[in-house]
Structure 1
Amino acid sequence: MASLPERAVRPRLPEPAPRARVRWSERLEPYLYLAPSLALLAIFTFYPIVRSIYLSLFLTDPLGRPRVFLGLQHYANALSSTFLQSMGVTLLFVLYTVPVGLILGFVLALLAHQPLKGTRIFQLIFSSPLAISAAIGSTIWVMLLNPVSGMVNYLLGLVGIAPIHWLTDPRWALLSVGMVSIWLRLGFNFVLMLSGLQNVPDELLEAAVVDGAGFWAKTRYVTLPMISPTLFFAAVVGVIHAFQVFAEIEIMTAGGPSDATNTVVYRIYQVAFRQYEFGSASAQAILLFIVMVVLTYIQFRLGERRVHYQ
């Protein structure tokens, strides 16, 4: 039996913390880690969306301050104005750029993935558009497509083709801007496709060769299904980028000629910062947001059925 002095010097064990206090601390800890990201999202994403919805209900002054409540009048005016024409131009731009960009990115990645000497050089060349900004790339192509002194028309003249007014002819303007957009996005698509090809298991390709499959059969039945998640991601991101194109339009055509390249985003920019109708521009921005959400939902509903996840 321990003596009294021994009992007196024995250290006391700390009392356990209340269960409620421990439970609340465990619940709050993850939100503390997320707080910086949530703050940035709230400032630069959620607040602008809420502010745009609020401004779309008002007639604003040139400084963007709401003055007269109009309700949904801006939305009705947008749906009955040239907004729908701009939406049609944007959809054409998406159809011109996204499929061609995906196909070119995949073909170039497939060529650069072959076990040949010098493929590193081609990989560097094909991915080089990533290092070029949209403003610089558009300026370069404005000079190349100049109908009088441009290099493109000069090369066409060598084979007997008459000069083409690439940026001033409504028949060619949207195609020309789309070509530049494809080139600017080619590096991104190439890098995505190449990373997807590098993740295809060699065992599957070797098994296909043993079964007698050729290059095209391996590509169709092995490579494409295995990189379908990469293709799906590139398609979704490509559509979103095509809807938001701005720099190429501003530098190359400024929405012309005859509104042939006046996409939705560029029209919103004109209404907001040239006509100073911030309420109308906010309503059109919300309509564009709704269209993009619907299209993304359709892509996920239809596209994910053909995506093969490992």
Structure 2
Amino acid sequence: MKADAASTPPKQFGLWRKSLNARTALLYLFPSILLFSVFIFYPMFRTIYLSFFLTDQQGAAALFVGFENYAYLFESREFRNSIKATVLFVLYTVPTGVIIALFLSLIANEKLKGIGFFRTVYSSTMGISVAASSVVWLFLFHPSIGMFNRLLNVMNLPGVQWLLDPDWALVSISISTIWMNIGFSFLILLGGLQNIDEYLYESAKIDGAGYWYQLRRITIPMLSPTLFFIITISLINAFQTFGQVDILTKGGPSQATNLIVYSIYREAFINYQFGTASAQAVFLFICILIVTILQFKLGEKKVHYQ
């Protein structure tokens, strides 16, 4: 073996070495590639394939219709309402959730006695499932025994049909979603704050800089990579929200909370129209892809990595 390697020209030996390294790398990557193929790539290509067909109740392709499923979606008033509800939901939840998480992380980053207790409380929503959280919020929003309406009654204000009024249902879902997601955002932002070098703040204090100047000129710029990550993840999660909608409102009332993911679920597993459901899924994928690309193109320019 050593004699063969010694007699091999350097150029051929280099190519042989690269080929061996590539095969070794593929061998190590094979389990991951297999899992991704089974659970991500195959379902994705299968969804794209089914979006061009009418299907039977078992989800098998029955009749090729080309882009008619997509044309039907954009002619459907129900789907247009779903897009509107999703966009409003994203606007309600993402900026508010990030701002609240940033505020809480700034408070929890202070070196105060007993601050660890509040860090635990602020991040505790991470340990609660969407189903359990939604049941709790279902009781809070109850029109007669819910805590929110009881508080309104104490203040001599009229009660609100939180989950039954089309004007309030999406806001109610947004409030519960912000609460559910705030623990994760808080924990990531707190970690980012604790990685900022204390020397920067000490230098700023020596120069006479106040808290707000430090926040604007040091904290936010140094935290921008973490904020960029949180905003990206929050946007993707907001577009994919399903559990709380299913438990709290089931897309109602009057389709006010019929977000795109819930619309896909209803179309596929209630109406058994897997072709149009697949077309909606492809549309959602394209929307998330475009939003993510725009965010990287426009938002990453303001990110400071050093």
TM-score normalised according to structure 1 size: 0.94
Q: CA deviation at 1:303?
A: 0.5
SS in 1 for 2:101: helix
RMSD, aligned CA: 1.2
Q: CA deviation at 1:262?
A: 0.4
Q: Which runs of 5+ in 2 are unaligned?
A: none
- Give me the whole-angstrom Cα distance separating, in 1, the residues matched to 2:146 and 2:19: 68
- Other-structure match for 2:247: 251
- Other-structure match for 2:59: 64
- Give me the whole-angstrom Cα distance separating, in 2, the residues matched to 1:43 and 1:100: 36
- The reply to whether residue 159 of structure 1 matches residue 155 of structure 2 is yes
SS in 2 for 1:67: strand
Q: CA deviation at 1:213?
A: 1.2
- Other-structure match for 1:291: 287
- The reply to whether residue 31 of structure 1 matches residue 26 of structure 2 is yes
1:41-93 CA distance string (max 9 Å, x none): 11111101110111111110000011111011001111111222211110100
Q: CA deviation at 1:208?
A: 1.1
- The reply to whether residue 15 of structure 1 matches residue 3 of structure 2 is yes
- Give me the whole-angstrom Cα distance separating, in 1, the residues matched to 2:109 and 2:23: 48
- Give me the whole-angstrom Cα distance separating, in 2, the residues matched to 1:133 and 1:260: 24
1:197-252 CA distance string (max 9 Å, x none): 00111011111111111111111111000000000110010000000000010000
Q: Which amino acid aligns with 1:289?
A: F
Q: CA deviation at 1:22?
A: 4.3
SS in 1 for 2:62: strand
Aligned residues: 298
Q: CA deviation at 1:132?
A: 0.5
Runs of 4+ with deviation above 4 angstroms: 20-23
- Give me the whole-angstrom Cα distance separating, in 2, the residues matched to 1:103 and 1:14: 63
Of 112, 120, 127, 1:124 maps to 120
SS in 2 for 1:59: strand
- Give me the whole-angstrom Cα distance separating, in 1, the residues matched to 2:74 and 2:36: 30
Equivalent runs, 1:19-168 vs 2, <5 Å = 19=13, 22-81=17-76, 82-168=78-164
1:281-310 CA distance string (max 9 Å, x none): 001100110111011111111101111011
TM-score normalised according to structure 2 size: 0.95
Q: CA deviation at 1:151?
A: 1.4
Of 207, 210, 213, 1:211 maps to 207
Q: CA deviation at 1:131?
A: 0.4
- Give me the whole-angstrom Cα distance separating, in 2, the residues matched to 1:44 and 1:61: 23
For the pair shown, the structure with the greater C-alpha radius of gyration is 1
Fraction of identical pairs, as percent: 46
